[in-house]
Structure 1
Amino acid sequence: MKQTDIYIAIVEDHPIVVEGLKNMLDKEPGFVVTGTFDSSNGLMQHIADKAVDVILLDISLPETNGLELCKNIKLKWPDVAILILSNHTERSMIMQSIQNGAKGYLLKNASVQEIIEAVRAAMDGRLIYSKEVQEIIAQPSRRDLLGVTSITKREKQILKMIAEGKTSIQIAEELFLSNLTVDTHRKNMLQKFGVKNTAELIIEATRQNLL
């Protein structure tokens, strides 16, 4: 296996879905499925023992909740990209997955190409959501009553670079700013948008057509 391969683990309790996903991903050049799991049992040890870049994770699992599992994985291995693959369409679950660190949320009716593109996007540090999920996220919430958030020209510039997956250090270098200044802008935008983390910031800014 080459270093450029993307190592993928599948966490799903329906054997037919697992087999379909494994066959599909194994056929894609550069994709390597390192393991399949029907619950959290064995998964954490697998991540510790083997190189895992991306996890395709269902929410409804025996003896565990996929959203909590996502949070626990990100706490131990923040560099592992997690893509939720579920039949659940509740907006609250989608937003919770974002808060828990998932890189994306796809419904199980997603096409082969959508899933492949989502894996590659996650590896690039981008957030990815299927069209149906984007429509669910865009549904009105209490934040809609507040209207479009007002941000400065500099904040919008930094926001765009954050959405591109750039770190504070990279942004600071490109804009000739200090890291502290960039981090201050980040914190100010989190407060302005009323969100808890960068993932929610990007989602909310996109919803308001600021990106």
Structure 2
Amino acid sequence: MLKQTAEYSIAIVDDHPVVIEGLRTLLQGVPGISSMHAFTTGGEFMDWLEHHTADIVLLDIMLPDVNGLDLCKDIKLAAPETIVLAVSNQAERSMILQILQNGASGYLLKNASAAEFRRCLEEALSGGVAFSREVREILARPGRAELKAPAALTRREKQILQLVTEGKTTTGIAKELHLSPLTVETHRRNMMQKLEVKNAAELIMAAVQRKLL
């Protein structure tokens, strides 16, 4: 359990009210938690953070107004002492590694048990990097060097990359792969970060040079 001698404030950033209420219920009565605040967009939370503090942020990766991977970096720049725990349905290794690189202190899948959530909170507050069971299995407990290494393209990213080279728009790709435009944009941005490029033209050129197509 969390230490009863200290008090922590928690911010939940997720656009699904059911998830927010579920997390509130899960955390109610946990010793050490003094307050909980909920936000449905990244912009709303960042505005709040300008005048308030949160010890822990439970952050969804897929938000309606911002990429959660980038938001994590913004949170750590604005409030370096704030602990960010990603809470997501996304189980792709590349996303897990990238948000850890951007300053997160852990990653939990939304199907984690109440006991796992509480354990991860304690681990993060103790200065560790916390993973739910399934995430541990995905990462197999990587070392620090692996966390800093560029991640390879996932199968989905390669699918989107191929469609980008065919001149498809984000909307077109989303329809063809039955994804949301935000998800497609997240994958595109991930690929550009991995290949260290700034636009679609450079992305295609880098992909050709590295024989990713």
Range of TM-score over shorter length: 0.5 to 0.7
1:86 aligns with 2:88: yes
For 2:53, the equivalent position in structure 1 comes to 51
For 1:170, the equivalent position in structure 2 comes to none
The C-alpha deviation readout for 1:85-124, integer Å capped at 9, x for no partner, is: 0000111000101100100000000011111111121111
SS at match of 1:45: helix
The C-alpha deviation readout for 1:157-192, integer Å capped at 9, x for no partner, is: xxxxxx9xxxxxxxxxxxxxxxxxxxxxxxxxx7xx
1:9 to partner: Cα distance: 0.3
Contact 2:13–2:58 (CA under 8 A) maintained in structure 1 = yes
1:40 to partner: Cα distance: 1.1
For 1:106, the equivalent position in structure 2 comes to 108
Contact 1:56–1:84 (CA under 8 A) maintained in structure 2 = yes
CA distance in 1, matches of 2:15, 2:77: 23
CA distance in 2, matches of 1:53, 1:13: 20
Q: 1:76 aligns with which of 75, 78, 81?
A: 78
For 2:118, the equivalent position in structure 1 comes to 116
Please list, as runs of the form range in 1=range in 2, the aligned pairs for 1:44-193 lying within 5 A after superposition: 44-138=46-140, 193=145
Assess, with a 3 A threshold, how the Cα gap between structure 1 residues 139 and 121 changes in structure 2: closer, same or farther.
closer
Assess, with a 3 A threshold, how the Cα gap between structure 1 residues 46 and 94 changes in structure 2: closer, same or farther.
same
Assess, with a 3 A threshold, how the Cα gap between structure 1 residues 83 and 25 changes in structure 2: closer, same or farther.
same
Count residues in correspondence: 146
Larger displacement relative to structure 2 (24-33 or 61-70):
24-33
Q: State the identity as a percent.
A: 45
1:22 aligns with 2:24: yes
For 1:196, the equivalent position in structure 2 comes to 148
Contact 1:37–1:43 (CA under 8 A) maintained in structure 2 = yes
Assess, with a 3 A threshold, how the Cα gap between structure 1 residues 195 and 94 changes in structure 2: closer, same or farther.
closer
SS at match of 2:57: strand
The C-alpha deviation readout for 1:5-27, integer Å capped at 9, x for no partner, is: 11100001111110111122122
Contact 1:25–1:32 (CA under 8 A) maintained in structure 2 = no
Q: TM-score, normalised by structure 1?
A: 0.63
1:139 to partner: Cα distance: 9.7
For 2:8, the equivalent position in structure 1 comes to 6
Question: What is the letter of the counterpart of residue 95 of structure 1?
Answer: L
1:3 to partner: Cα distance: 7.7
Contact 2:112–2:133 (CA under 8 A) maintained in structure 1 = no
Q: TM-score, normalised by structure 2?
A: 0.63
SS at match of 1:27: coil
Assess, with a 3 A threshold, how the Cα gap between structure 1 residues 21 and 139 changes in structure 2: closer, same or farther.
closer
Structure 2: gaps spanning 5 or more residues: 150-213
For 1:159, the equivalent position in structure 2 comes to none
Structure 1: gaps spanning 5 or more residues: 141-162, 164-189, 198-211
Contact 1:39–1:63 (CA under 8 A) maintained in structure 2 = yes
User: Structure 1 residue runs of 4+, over 4 Å off?
Assistant: none
Contact 1:40–1:64 (CA under 8 A) maintained in structure 2 = yes
